[in-house]
């Protein structure tokens, strides 16, 4: 028998703003993420605008992508930006050392990335090369992108087709410097970050916000060291020395991937999985909450005012790819939608500290929003969740207390229902509610405190099976549909969520 879930929606106790950048994306030169997924070239028969495919741009525009992180990932620490500017027929024909030694023509470089962003209306988050680059190379890139037109870097940019500077609000100072980005200890990276931070800036437009490499998953010692040693210009002066508490970092990153196997060598299949594969993946995705809470608690000790953002700049469901597919290509199933719904709810709930998140990766790689095959394109169930949840961007977080039965499968145990809420500037309240149980519907009773709304509607995404997937050339099985029997009487909302579903409730 389905047990009831009770929600206490505290619209009378509004929280912080949900940064739109929580709905950010990540794209890397990897597999078919950039080449084919975004860039097809001006001469391609695939409809494009200056080489960038129109279907992908249209799909991404619809979900209001706020920010895109590029060019990596591991690739960022072997990328030399000069290879990617100037006439395309003269660009360096490189090899992608990070991802299988495949050729990289450099046809997609700084100008093409900025053009792509302009076409979809997103901001850049550029990761500079720390691992195999230099402070000089990174600073030169910032000059090239942001220096005024009447400077030599500005003239070089204009000679390549862009006179006015670009706004570059977010700079990633390396990537995973504890691993592929340089194999550094936390102490070494903290010192390296301080060195880069002393030179990296925007030469026009908004001040650059530096994002330091943060922890992998539960490496709390890394967070501790970075906060202690690299948060401000002079963190540990002697008693007589000059104290300089100006922040060095705007944000500290966190990388966390979900899989369904036992470890990185055994991530579990992304298609044809069973109930254990469903439960293990959702159990791991649900851990995001505790991970963020623990990293935030460390940050709170150094930064009680929460001026430094936690930027979850790589997250997503990373299962084993099927044989014969391009690097890290994953088919997309209902499980991905549920993982996205749970993860984004958790980021919303931690909006006081989490100011940015970037799903890995936008097109054709890991947990994509869009998949392409030659001229064909499909949107994934993850895309639908981003589309439903876009109402949270920039809205005020509304706390919700949840009393839900547990969903149990083998050794996995987690609350059946996962929720976040927000109120938009027009006063409309939104609740995004995930039912993680693959079999049991969730009857929900929500008590609304401080809500003036009088009508409630809901849209829900589910599918026939836990591993229903999106397929090229077939109807999309994930289009959300109107949920029936959503009732609002006085301050009480009742409804029944389908099993294995993601639902957005709108109360106006």
Residue 93, judged by CB atoms within 10 A of its CB (0-12, 13-18, 19+), counts as exposed
- Comparing CB distances to ligand AHR, the nearer of 330 and 398 is 330
Q: Shortest CA distance to 335 belongs to which of 401, 429, 267, 410?
A: 267
What is the smallest separation between the CB atom of 312 and ligand AHR, expressed in angstroms?
12
Residue from 36, 314, 409, 412 carrying the catalytic annotation: 314
Q: Which of residues 21, 28, 303, 387 is near ligand AHR by CB under 6 A? A: 28
Pick the closer one to ligand AHR by CB: 40 or 76: 76
- Least distance CB 424 / ligand AHR (angstroms): 32
Q: Of these, 104, 176, 331, 412, which contacts ligand AHR (CB under 6 A)?
A: 176
CB 203 within 8 A of CB 143: yes
Contact flag: residue 72 with ligand AHR (CB under 6 A):
yes
Q: How far apart are CB 215 and ligand AHR at their closest, in Å?
A: 13
Residue with tokens 């100072």: 173
Output 260 or 497, the one with its CB closest to ligand AHR: 260
Q: Is 174 one of the binding residues for ligand AHR (CB under 6 A)?
A: no
Q: In angstroms, rounded to a whole number, what is the distance separating the alpha carbons of residues 310 and 296?
A: 8
- The site map against ligand AHR for 79-118 (x = CB under 6 A) is ----------------------------------------
> φ, ψ for residue 461 (rounded to 5)?
-115, 125
Among 5, 106, 146, 175, the residue binding ligand AHR under the rule CB under 6 A is 175
Shortest gap between Cβ of 41 and ligand AHR (angstroms)?
24
Q: Whole-angstrom Cα distance, residue 424 to residue 168? A: 27
Minimum CB distance to ligand AHR, residue 331 (Å): 17
Return all residues near 409 (Cβ < 8 A) that are at least 6 apart. Answer: 275, 276, 278, 279
**Contact in structure between 258 and 316 (CB atoms under 8 Å):** yes
What is residue 57's three-state secondary structure?
helix
The window from 55-63, 71-79, 301-309, 446-454 that contacts ligand AHR (CB under 6 A) reads 71-79
Subset of 308-327 contacting ligand AHR (CB under 6 A): 314
Pinpoint the alpha helices (H) of 23-106: 54-62
Rounded to whole angstroms, what are the CA distances from 270 to 274, 335, 499?
10, 9, 20
**What dihedral angle (degrees, nearest 10) is formed by the CA atoms of 224, 346, 208, 216?**
40
Report how many residues bind ligand AHR under the rule CB under 6 A. 10
Nearest distance from residue 147's CB to ligand AHR, in Å?
29
Q: Which is nearer to ligand AHR, 51 or 316 (CB)?
A: 316
The Cα 423–Cα 417 span in angstroms is 20
Q: How far is the CB of 29 from ligand AHR (least distance, A)?
A: 9
Q: Which is nearer to ligand AHR, 176 or 336 (CB)?
A: 176
Question: How near is the Cβ of 500 to ligand AHR at its closest, in Å?
Answer: 26
Nearer to ligand AHR, 232 or 367 (CB): 367
Instruction: Give the residue, chosen from 27, 74, 171, 211, that forms a contact with ligand AHR under the rule CB under 6 A.
Output: 74
Residues 6+ apart with CB under 8 A from 469: 271, 331, 332, 333, 334
How far from 167 is each of 116, 181, 186, 198, 319, CA to CA, in Å?
A: 14, 26, 30, 20, 36
Q: Which tokens sit at 294?
A: 């623990």
DSSP string for residues in 348-395:
HHTTTTEEEEEEE-SBSSSS-SEEEETTEEEE-HHHHHHHHHGGGTTP
Active-site pick, 28, 36, 112, 176: 176
413 bridge partner residues: 408
Active site residue 409: no
Draw the binding track, 365-404, toward ligand AHR (x: CB under 6 A; -: no contact). Answer: -x--------------------------------------
Helix, strand or coil, per DSSP, at residue 90: helix
202/223 with CB nearer ligand AHR: 223
Q: By Cβ distance, which residue is nearest to ligand AHR? A: 73
Q: Which stretch binds ligand AHR (CB under 6 A): 70-78, 198-206, 371-379, 436-444?
A: 70-78
- Stretch near ligand AHR under the rule CB under 6 A, chosen from 66-74, 239-247, 293-301, 467-475: 66-74
Least gap, CB of 152 to ligand AHR (angstroms): 33
Pairwise CA distance, residues 259 & 280, whole Å = 8
- Is residue 314 part of the annotated active site? The answer reads yes
CA dihedral over 92, 94, 98, 102, signed as positive or negative: positive
Residue 364, phi-psi category: left (phi > 0), alpha (psi -120 to 50), beta (remainder): left
Residues 264-303 binding ligand AHR (CB under 6 A) are none
Say whether residue 360 binds ligand AHR (CB under 6 A).
yes
Question: With respect to ligand AHR, which residue has the nearer C-beta, 362 or 442?
Answer: 362
Residue among 314 and 387 whose Cβ is closer to ligand AHR: 314
| Residues designated as active site | 176, 314
Q: Which residues bind ligand AHR (CB under 6 A)?
A: 28, 72-74, 175-176, 314, 360-361, 366
């Amino acid at each position: 028998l389905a047990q009831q879930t009770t929600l206490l929606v505290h619209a009378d106790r509004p929280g912080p703003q949900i940064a739109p950048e929580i709905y950010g994306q990540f794209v890397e030169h990897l597999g078919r993420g950039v080449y084919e997924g975004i860039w097809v070239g001006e001469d391609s028969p695939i409809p494009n605008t200056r080489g960038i495919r129109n279907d992908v741009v249209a799909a991404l525009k619809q979900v209001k992508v706020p920010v895109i992180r590029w060019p990596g990932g591991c690739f960022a620490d072997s990328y030399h930006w000069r290879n990617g500017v100037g006439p395309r027929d003269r660009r360096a024909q490189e090899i992608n050392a990070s991802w299988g030694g495949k050729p990289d023509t450099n046809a997609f470089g700084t100008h093409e990335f900025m053009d792509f962003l302009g076409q979809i209306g997103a901001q850049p988050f550029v990761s500079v090369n720390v691992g195999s680059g230099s402070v000089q190379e990174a600073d030169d890139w910032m000059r090239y992108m942001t220096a005024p037109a009447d400077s030599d870097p500005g003239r070089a940019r204009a000679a390549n087709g862009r006179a006015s500077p670009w706004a570059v609000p977010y700079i990633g100072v390396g990537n995973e410097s504890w691993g592929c980005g340089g194999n550094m200890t936390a102490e070494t990276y903290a010192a390296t970050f301080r060195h880069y931070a002393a030179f990296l800036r925007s030469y026009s437009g908004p001040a650059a916000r530096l994002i330091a490499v943060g922890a992998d998953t539960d490496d709390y010692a890394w967070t501790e060291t970075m906060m202690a040693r690299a948060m401000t210009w002079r963190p540990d002066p002697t008693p007589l020395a000059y104290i300089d508490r100006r922040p060095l970092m705007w944000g500290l990153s966190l990388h966390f991937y979900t899989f369904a196997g036992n470890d990185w060598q055994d991530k579990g299949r992304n298609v044809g999985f069973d109930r254990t594969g469903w439960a293990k993946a959702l159990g791991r995705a649900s851990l995001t909450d505790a991970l963020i809470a623990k990293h935030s608690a460390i940050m709170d000790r150094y930064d009680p005012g929460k001026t430094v953002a936690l930027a979850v700049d790589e997250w997503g469901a990373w299962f084993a790819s099927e044989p014969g597919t391009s690097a890290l290509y994953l088919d997309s199933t209902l499980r991905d939608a549920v993982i996205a719904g749970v993860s984004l709810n958790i980021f919303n709930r931690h909006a006081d500290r989490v100011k940015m998140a970037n799903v890995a990766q936008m097109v054709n790689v890991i947990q994509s929003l869009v998949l392409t095959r030659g001229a064909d394109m499909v949107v994934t169930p993850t895309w639908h969740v981003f589309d439903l949840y876009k109402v949270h961007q920039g809205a005020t977080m509304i706390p919700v207390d949840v009393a839900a039965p547990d969903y149990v499968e083998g050794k996995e145990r987690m609350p059946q229902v996962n929720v976040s809420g927000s109120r938009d500037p027009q006063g409309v309240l939104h609740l995004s509610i995930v039912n993680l149980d693959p079999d049991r519907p969730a009857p929900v009773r929500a008590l609304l405190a401080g809500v003036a709304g009088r009508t409630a509607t809901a849209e829900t995404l589910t599918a026939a099976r836990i591993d229903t997937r999106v397929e090229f050339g077939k109807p999309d099985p994930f289009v959300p549909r109107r949920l029936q029997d959503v009732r609002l009487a006085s301050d009480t909302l009742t409804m029944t969520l389908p099993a294995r579903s993601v639902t957005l409730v709108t109360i106006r």
